[in-house]
Amino acid sequence: MTLKTLLERPDLNPGARTQGKIQNFRELLQTLGQREFPDAVTEALNLKIEALNKMQGTEKEYRKAVVNTEYKILKFLEKELKLVPKNHYQKTWLAFGLAVFGVPLGVAMGTALGNMAFFGVGLGMGLPIGMAVGAGLDKKARDEGRQLDFEARI
């Protein structure tokens, strides 16, 4: 079973922002087209693409629909097949590193030194820790063949 494509919308006359989102979505579809999926997964993806192709509305509504459909497809693939785009974990763990490592380290340093101005130092340490953890998970996904040759720009 093959994946459907995004149809042209000559009635829309999209601006540069919308064209960028459409191009990004087409790159995702092209990347997905190079892989073999179970029929149930392909059918679910085709339903999402068909809904986008049938969508009527303004340029802004269409742009939002393209971004939402891309997000839903990526989340669906992550949930069902454990497939992720490039740098997925690094981007996710960047925020976790700040929250999980940076804040506690900053509070501990500020409390230990008696000056909460050192709180920011902890954030500066949490950021690279989170990025390193995410980079390791991205490398693991790539080595296991679970990484798409696509970088999400959502």
Asked whether 31 and 86 are in contact (CB, 8 A), the reply is no
pLDDT score, position 150? 93
What's the pLDDT tens digit per position in 75-113?
Answer: 999 999 999 999 999 999 999 999 999 999 999 999 999
pTM to 2 decimals?
0.86
